[in-house]
Amino acid sequence: MRASLFPWCLVACTACAPQVITAVEPPDSGTGAGAGGSSAGAGSAGGAGAPAQPDAGTDAAVPEPMLRGDALLHRYEFSGAGTVALDAKGAAHGALIAAQLSDEGALHLAAGTNAQYVDLPNGLISGLTNATFEVWLTWEGGANWQRIFDFGDSTSMIEDERSNGRSYLFLSPHGNGNFMRAVYKNAMLREVIIDSEPALAVDTPSYLAVVFDDTQNRMQLFHDGALLGAVELDSKLSQIHDVNDWLGRSQFAADPPLLATIDEFRIYDVALTEAEIAKSFGEGPDATF
């Protein structure tokens, strides 16, 4: 494992969490540019002299939350060099478009003549029920409506072609206002949105997680281990036609490319709990499962 570039704390700090803004199926955000749509048993008797058991209500140790490594489906650590984003957990390797790894253990996406992004395999999320998406990155600022990730399709319904978004799950570091935004939409539903102020800090190592909890009918957004917002969502990931599974690129043709350094991206096939999210943040991008 490479040495982490991120100064992760051992536990998540919730006192500094930004304002929580929660929404349930708000109107489309329609920006004109197409952007943004644009959670005491008895026990067995002991022998003589056995030590007393701790009082269950006061002194019992609270079990430490465990990251469920067996639920981790895909892990992109961006190690090595070249144009392949290796999946360290599964076999869903991605292709770097107009970008290249330079053996630094991170992926740098910069605006140039050609937008840089990662093209992950089709169908990466539509076969899931519950899911968690985690990313460690440093955002470099720039225009609104960049995408950290965007899984879905456009109105053209043609693979690799951008138009206006049709069905998608995306995360943006900055909308038209001073907020981050996580969005779910299928082809028959208006956008279901979580907005949280402020927008993602520029040039600051950050951890973000989107939890899609089909069992509880909700979607949640976390930042640096703290819950920012949640929304009721009685829809399915299977309703997303994800022929375009992208890191750093939007389904909307008018939206700009992502300017960021991504240290790691993960997908789980479970909805991680708040305790597990906090533990994941504390362990950082090079955790051992």
* 163-190 per-position pLDDT tens digit: 999 999 999 999 999 999 999 999 999 9
Which residues, in sequence order, are bridge partners of residue 165?
Answer: 154
Give the closest residue to 118 by CA, choosing from 69, 77, 166. 77
Alpha helices in the chain (DSSP H): 274-283
Give the residue, 171 or 35, on which the prediction is more confident.
Answer: 171
- Phi, psi (degrees; rounded to nearest 5) at 166: -110, -55
pLDDT of residue 67: 60
How does pLDDT run across 239-261, given as a tens digit for each residue?
Answer: 999 999 999 999 999 999 999 99
Task: Give percent above pLDDT 90 in the chain.
Answer: 73
* Residues 247, 21: Cα–Cα separation, whole Å: 25
Give the closest residue to 13 by CA, choosing from 278, 202, 286, 200. 278
* Domain positions in the chain: 69-283
Look up the pTM and report it: 0.80
Task: Give percent above pLDDT 70 in the chain.
Answer: 76
Q: Is the pLDDT of residue 4 over 80?
A: no
| Average pLDDT of the chain, as a whole number | 84
Give the mean pLDDT of 189-206. Answer: 97
Q: Is the pLDDT of residue 52 over 90?
A: no
* Residues 2, 103: Cα–Cα separation, whole Å: 10
* Residues 182, 206: Cα–Cα separation, whole Å: 16
- Give the DSSP H or E segment for 101: strand 101-102
Q: Reply yes or no on domain 69-283 having CATH 2.60.120.200.
A: yes
pLDDT of residue 65: 54
Length of the chain: 289
pLDDT of residue 6: 52
